[in-house]
């Protein structure tokens, strides 16, 4: 893929605000053929689409679609509309997500566990399944799937049990998909799995980054993700301490790792969390 998305169709979930909007702005600025915005907040989506369209270069279409990706049936319906009205995307950025910051026994099955797993884990699979066939058979350009997971999917953490489970599922599926595509000769489709620590978006207000792990800005993360996506990088973990923690967790005996993680503040990082519990699938998703 070129150093830009010029001429590509780019689909972004949770695109009405936050980091999803930042991805959309980047796609518009680089001259994408179509920037396809998915979000469940119809009003915010319409406002974002109008602003983006107003600054779009000639030849770039901004196409908003109101859809709640927690409704798995709606994904197929909306995907068919995208194919009919805009065309299959060349790039899919699965960005939308929600978080619950509480002990597991405080989660409600219907209000907490089910939507977290649907939006964070199942919806990216459903969306990718809709558009993969075209990506695999399209011989005109490379394709990209970007799955925004979380460092929480690589390390256990109190008050994040269901969220961590959803992101661990996303990581396992995303990287397996990458391997399957390469193994079966569809190397033109690159999958990038993104595992960030906390990001200053509002979703994790009150959370404290562990020692040596400051909160990252949305702009910094979007820039890193964008470059990784264009390069077809398989895995992006940030900041560097996420890789270090993952290595230590896999090397040290569990009791010793628990002491290290406790000393670095990993297991206390959500104690003061006051962020928004529910996000409309909205690019503020990144941790």
What would the two tokens of residue 205 be?
A: 């207000």
Whole-angstrom distance, CA of residue 187 vs CA of residue 277: 38
CB 99 within 8 A of CB 45: no
Angle at 230 between CA 91 and CA 29, to 5 degrees: 75
Which of 238, 286, 9 minimizes the C-alpha distance to 120? Answer: 286
Say if strands 235-238 and 61-66 run parallel, antiparallel, or are unpaired.
unpaired
Say if strands 91-94 and 61-66 run parallel, antiparallel, or are unpaired.
unpaired
Whole-angstrom distance, CA of residue 205 vs CA of residue 159: 14
Residue 175 CA neighbour count, 13 Å, CB half? 15
- Specify the 3-state DSSP secondary structure of 201: coil
Sign of CA dihedral 142, 84, 23, 29: positive
Residues belonging to the active site: 163
Q: Give the torsion through C-alpha atoms of 175, 181, 183, 186, to 10 deg.
A: -150
Which of 169, 74, 175, 63 minimizes the C-alpha distance to 116? Answer: 169
Strand ranges in the chain using DSSP code E only, listed in sequence order: 9-13, 34-39, 61-66, 91-94, 143-148, 189-196, 235-238
């Amino acid at each position: 893929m070129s150093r830009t998305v010029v001429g590509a169709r780019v689909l972004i979930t949770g695109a009405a605000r936050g980091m999803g909007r930042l991805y959309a702005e980047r796609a518009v600025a680089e001259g994408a053929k179509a920037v396809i915005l998915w979000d469940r907040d119809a009003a915010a989506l319409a406002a974002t689409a109008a602003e983006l369209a107003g600054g779009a270069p000639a030849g770039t279409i901004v196409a908003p679609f109101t859809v709640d990706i927690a409704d798995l049936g709606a994904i197929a319906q909306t995907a068919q509309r995208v194919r009919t009205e805009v065309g299959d995307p060349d790039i899919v950025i699965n960005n939308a997500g929600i978080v619950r910051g509480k002990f597991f026994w405080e989660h409600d099955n219907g209000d907490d566990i089910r939507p977290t797993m649907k939006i964070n884990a199942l919806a990216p699979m459903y969306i990718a399944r809709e558009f993969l066939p075209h990506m695999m058979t399209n011989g005109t350009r490379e394709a990209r799937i970007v799955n925004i997971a979380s460092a929480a999917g690589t390390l256990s953490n109190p008050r994040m049990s269901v969220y961590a489970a959803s992101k661990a599922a996303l990581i396992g599926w995303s990287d397996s998909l990458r391997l399957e595509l390469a193994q079966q000769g569809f190397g033109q489709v690159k999958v990038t799995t993104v595992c960030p620590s906390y990001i200053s978006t509002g979703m994790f207000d009150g959370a404290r980054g562990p020692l040596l792990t400051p909160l990252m800005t949305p702009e910094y993360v979007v820039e890193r993700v964008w470059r990784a996506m264009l390069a077809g990088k398989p895995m992006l973990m940030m900041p560097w301490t996420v890789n270090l923690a993952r290595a230590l967790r896999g090397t040290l005996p569990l009791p010793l790792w628990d002491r290290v993680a406790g000393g670095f503040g990993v297991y206390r990082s959500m104690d003061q969390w006051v962020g928004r519990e529910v996000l409309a699938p909205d690019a503020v998703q990144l941790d």
